[in-house]
């Protein structure tokens, strides 16, 4: 009888093995229910892939809606070109060439007495070349001085403000307005500039300029074989631009929520969307090179590059914004995980700040205990506020992004410094 009381108790390994067998039996009894995690994972991956593919298109549609479709943003985007040296040089050369096409040397002799004209005509037959060169240099200097003035900047701004709707019409295929698409070329009419130059020439003593007719000349903004196709894409972006970005974010969120391991899915989704934005950035970089190489000889490459950079600048800002947000979200999600590498980084961060707190002899008291209890929400609030500031910042530069990141790290360090877990802890009795 005593032998029955001396039987060994089941070991922990035996208990775990029995529990595992019971779980396997339950899964087998459940039939096809084990497919549910696999289906969720498949749908999560599909949603993330679609969101990644839509990320570049969402950036372009946001640019088309907010930069091209908004008058104020469009003017602000194009205004700096008025002070760009390459654009000024191209406009000066274009206007000078048009003026000289309509300004003849013989028009300078309109006030000469009839009896003196034969002698002057004989003299001009020998001096027409140098005289034409001198007049051309005079006109060029006048145009150059005007293009470098504030008056030209005002005309340029007014022209772009008035022609913003024409840009939208041009990209939509319309043939009306100061900005038009002819074949595969986008042009701007410089007639207002020529009118002001004519008055400047008259004021400087070139009276023959007053007889110049009303001249309309085109300044090439863009030219490429793909401009015609851009009108089709722009019309499509106008239709989907309002909902494409929200749909992309909704798909990304759905992928994270459907995933079995949501934290890992959040890291992967953030990095994937950042990679999609990087692809668009590379496409802009390569597209600029191919575009400049395809320009005809009569188009100024430096000016065309300046115009391309002005148009693509806001899109590059959006690319940097998405990449930065993706990296920040991925790092934040990774650091709040339970992986070994993340735990080491977190331990180094907490240990360094904890050593500084102990060296300073700081005790948080009740406030520090509250920070300890609310540390995770506080940290996520700092990340969310930094992301919101980056999103609402108008055209954040690389330096602005760095400063926002530095301020966020400082705020996180303050939270960690105030964190005090030295308060009384409840322990189990006995």
Quickly list H helices, 83-179. 85-102, 117-147, 150-171
Q: Is residue 58 part of a domain?
A: no
| 288-337 pLDDT tens trace | 888 888 777 777 888 888 888 888 888 888 898 888 888 888 887 887 76
Q: Is residue 204 part of a domain?
A: yes
Phi, psi values for residue 7, rounded to 5°:
-65, 135
Q: Is residue 158 part of a domain?
A: yes
Supply the range of the domain harboring residue 361: 340-418
- Kindly state whether residues 77 and 209 are assigned to the same domain: yes
d(CA 60, CA 62): 5
pLDDT band at 53 (very low <50, low <70, confident <90, very high): very high
Q: Is residue 152 part of a domain?
A: yes
| 413-425 pLDDT tens trace | 888 888 776 655 4
**What is the predicted pLDDT for the residue at 429?**
44
**What is the predicted pLDDT for the residue at 272?**
93
Q: Which residues pair with 181 in a beta bridge?
A: 186
Chosen domain end from 227, 244, 269: 227
Chosen domain end from 163, 193, 227: 227
- Kindly state whether residues 214 and 350 are assigned to the same domain: no
Q: What is 33-74 written as a DSSP string? A: GGHHHHHHHHHHHHHHHHHHHHHHHHHHHHHIIIIIS-HHHH
More confident residue, 282 or 375: 282
d(CA 299, CA 93): 11
Q: Is residue 183 part of a domain?
A: yes
Query: Which residue, 186, 252, 176, is CA-closest to 218?
Result: 186
Q: Which residues pair with 220 in a beta bridge?
A: 187
**What is the predicted pLDDT for the residue at 155?**
83
- Do 231 and 201 meet the contact criterion of CB atoms below 8 Å apart? no
| 336-391 pLDDT tens trace | 766 777 677 777 777 787 777 777 777 767 777 888 788 888 888 887 888 788 77
Taking the complete model, does pTM exceed 0.75, yes or no?
A: no
Chosen domain end from 192, 211, 227: 227
Q: Is residue 234 part of a domain?
A: no
Q: Is residue 268 part of a domain?
A: no
Q: Is residue 264 part of a domain?
A: no
Our count of domains for the chain comes to 2
d(CA 303, CA 183): 20
pLDDT band at 36 (very low <50, low <70, confident <90, very high): low
**Which stretch of 135-149, 282-296, 387-401 has the lowest confidence by average pLDDT?**
387-401
d(CA 99, CA 95): 6
| 215-252 pLDDT tens trace | 767 676 665 555 555 566 666 776 676 688 888 888 99
pLDDT band at 46 (very low <50, low <70, confident <90, very high): very high
């Amino acid at each position: 009888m005593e032998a029955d009381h001396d039987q060994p108790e089941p070991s922990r390994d035996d208990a775990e093995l029995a529990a595992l067998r019971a779980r396997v039996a339950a899964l087998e009894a459940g039939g096809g229910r084990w497919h549910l995690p696999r289906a969720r994972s498949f749908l999560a991956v599909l949603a993330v892939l679609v969101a990644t593919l839509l990320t570049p298109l969402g950036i372009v549609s946001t640019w088309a809606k907010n930069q091209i479709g908004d008058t104020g943003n469009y003017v602000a985007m194009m205004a700096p070109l008025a002070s760009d040296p390459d654009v000024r040089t191209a406009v000066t050369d274009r206007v000078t060439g048009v003026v000289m096409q309509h300004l003849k040397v013989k028009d300078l002799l309109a006030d000469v007495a009839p009896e003196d004209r034969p002698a002057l005509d004989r003299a001009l037959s020998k001096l027409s070349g140098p005289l034409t060169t001198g007049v051309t240099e005079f006109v060029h200097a006048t145009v150059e001085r005007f293009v470098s003035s504030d008056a030209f900047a005002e005309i340029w701004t007014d022209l772009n403000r008035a022609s913003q709707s024409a840009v939208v019409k041009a990209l939509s295929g319309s043939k009306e307005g100061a900005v038009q698409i002819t074949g595969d070329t986008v042009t701007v009419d410089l007639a207002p500039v020529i009118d002001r130059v004519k008055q400047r020439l008259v004021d400087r003593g070139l009276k023959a300029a007053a007889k110049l007719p009303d001249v309309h000349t085109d300044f090439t903004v863009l030219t490429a074989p793909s401009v015609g196709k851009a009108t089709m894409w722009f019309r499509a972006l106008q239709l989907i631009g309002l909902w494409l970005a929200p749909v992309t974010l909704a798909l990304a969120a759905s992928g994270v929520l459907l995933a079995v391991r949501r934290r890992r899915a959040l890291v992967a989704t953030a990095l994937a969307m950042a990679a999609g934005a990087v692809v668009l950035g590379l496409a802009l970089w390569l597209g600029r090179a191919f575009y400049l190489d395809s320009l005809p000889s009569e188009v100024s490459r430096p000016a065309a590059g300046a115009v391309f950079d002005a148009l693509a600048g806001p899109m590059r800002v959006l690319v940097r914004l998405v990449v930065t947000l993706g990296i920040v979200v991925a790092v934040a999600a990774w650091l709040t995980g339970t992986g070994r590498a993340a735990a080491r980084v977190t331990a180094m961060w907490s240990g360094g700040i904890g050593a500084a707190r102990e060296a300073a002899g700081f005790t948080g008291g009740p406030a520090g205990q509250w920070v300890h209890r609310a540390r995770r929400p506080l940290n996520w609030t700092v990340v969310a506020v930094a992301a919101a500031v980056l999103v609402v910042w108008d055209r954040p530069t690389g330096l602005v992004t760095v400063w926002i990141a530095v301020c966020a790290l400082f705020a996180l360090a303050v939270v960690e410094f105030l964190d005090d877990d030295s308060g009384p802890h409840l322990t189990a009795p006995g």
